[in-house]
Amino acid sequence: MASQWVDVRDLKFILHEVFKIDEQLLGKGPFTDYDGETVDMVLESAAKLAENEIAPTYPDEVHGQPVEAILKEGKVYVPEAYHHLWKLYCEGGWMTTSDSPDWGGQGFPEIVAACASSMFLGCNQAFLMYTGLTHGAAKLVEKFCSEELKAIYLPKMFSGQWAGTMCLTEPGSGSDLGPLKTTAKRNPDGTYSIQGTKCFISSGDHDLVENIIHPVLARIEGDPLGTKGISIFLVPKYRVNSDGGLGEFNDVNTGGIEHKMGIHGNATCTLNFGDNGRCIGYLMGAERQGMQIMFHMMNEERQGVGMMGVSLAGAAYLHALSYAKERLQGNNLFTGQRYVPIIQHPDVRRMLLKQKSVTEGIRALCLFCYWAMDQQKVAGTDTEKSKWSGLVEMLTPIVKSYCTEMGLVVNDLAVQTYGGYGYCREYPVEQMMRDQKINTIFEGTNGIQAMDLLGRKLGMNEGKHFMNLMSEGNAHIAEAKGLDSLKDEAAVVETAVNAILATAMDFAGLLMKNPFIPLIAACDFLNCVGDTLCGWFHLWMALEATKGLAQADKESDKMFYLGKIEGAKFFIQRTTALVPAKCEILKKDETSCVRIPEEAFAV
């Protein structure tokens, strides 16, 4: 019976047949000791943990009672089942799948860790946020703390004995961190006294571990206003003695937790640092490098949020598919058969194939970003490293925004497939849709990602990074042109790529003449780039599926490859094909939303 939670077959297809990690990655550089069989064992183990242990903890309401993080007498308690999951997750080494063995990691490629994470996230995002933020905070410690602090903190964070967060947002300083008010005062012993309030801190406080480590943005007294004056500090909930043991409470208090639309099991906290003047922090990196350092973690989290979008979409689609095969309703319009499974109805099939094709496209897009990270590690020249590093820079805002935006489309269609039942908490697609929405908002809203792509990324390295990204698919387009079965799709993708490149050039000129046109179009332009890239990935996957289909003996393999080919045609002809027309619209001088007076927005 097919899984309703994870799609191991598709992950293996992308790894081995599309990206060909056995030839291109495994056995090289830091991955010398790994082979495809070992990778498959990791995927199978991750699937078992996801389905058997994590998925049963997903409902945020059981027998009418909420399953959520709660604040009681100043302490935060997570759902009871999370304690067992945390133990299993940490003991299984999943916190450090791709990290250095020097700190207890397993050293697998980033793309392998991402595949495992995708299965976990689709089964309970709220729980996985505790692990993801811990890992991100630990990586900051690894990169920017002294050897002394690393020796104390890293083993306990990577092992899951301690947890971590990311503390940026304040009540008056959200997406724009320039007005940040949290202060740091130098102490004679080299530490800093931290004072201020942070809000919307995911996993900010909980009872899973004995200590929580907070990277905190603050302004050292006397430093300039704005983002250039911000530094970053390592602030433990409990102070740590020189021998690594816990010391006194570090004056980090939880002021409240948010009551949210989704991710109820994750504690989204307001944290008060130094209310009693006894909060101590340790400088990470150098003074006034806070934003630069924090973006190392922020980019990792943005890529992770993109994967959250993919994962919830994937799980929702699998649930909708299973339901559509079982739910009996209506007549088959062509055979006349009565009371048939709803998967036989054309519009339901349309919704399902759109869910399938979108999910598989954004999954490939997201994993390609991790693939690019791994390619940096095995690159033989500085030029190659620079190329792959540039692709990661370009892909990060697209992965975060497009994968969550399109993931929400899939979740919406999954609910629609169930009909009225999908709107009820009896079925998990309702919760999946609620959980998915936050992914378009946090770690920088999708609008901010679009501005990042337009205002920063397109022009990086004189536009070469963007050109490299958009030309990555040229070989696959050329190959597909030689096949009668895919030549039409190849032409569509090629036309979309050219439209994107032309629009990027036009926007560069418009930013100097009438900047409102590209600024208003930024989100739609990013989505057009995503539609084009996913068209390329579908073409790439269809090419490999065509080869696989010609060699397949098992009926299940034939059906899998056929599904990849038909899904590619559906996405390319119904989504990528619209890109050129959309690009023409985006360049029009239509700026009503900035011309309209504020008073005219009212009824």
Structure tokens at 399: 């992965």
Residue 147 known to be catalytic:
no
Separation between Cα atoms, residue 528 and residue 236, nearest integer Å: 43
Show the low-confidence residues of the chain (pLDDT under 50): none
Does residue 250 contact residue 281 with C-beta atoms inside 8 Å?
no
Element (H, E) at 192: strand 192-202
User: What CATH code would you report for 163-292?
Assistant: 2.40.110.20
Domain locations in the chain as residue ranges: 8-162, 163-292, 295-448, 473-595
Does residue 187 contact residue 221 with C-beta atoms inside 8 Å?
no
Please report the pLDDT score of residue 333 as a whole number.
87
Separation between Cα atoms, residue 215 and residue 235, nearest integer Å: 6
Please report the pLDDT score of residue 511 as a whole number.
87
Please report the pLDDT score of residue 512 as a whole number.
86
Please report the pLDDT score of residue 334 as a whole number.
87
Fold for the domain defined by 295-448? Butyryl-CoA Dehydrogenase, subunit A; domain 3 (1.20.140)
Please report the pLDDT score of residue 1 as a whole number.
62
CA dihedral 269, 155, 230, 201 (to 10 degrees): -10
Total-model pTM: 0.97
Please report the pLDDT score of residue 61 as a whole number.
94
- Extended beta strands in 438-503, E state: none
Please report the pLDDT score of residue 152 as a whole number.
95
Separation between Cα atoms, residue 452 and residue 430, nearest integer Å: 32
Nearest to 510 by CA among 496, 522, 499: 522
Catalytic residue among 443, 472, 489, 494: 443
CB burial of residue 602 (10 Å; 0-12, 13-18, 19+): exposed
CATH of 8-162, one of 3.10.180.10, 1.10.10.60, 3.40.630.10, 1.10.540.10: 1.10.540.10
Would you tell me how many other CB atoms lie within 10 Å of the CB of residue 467?
Answer: 16
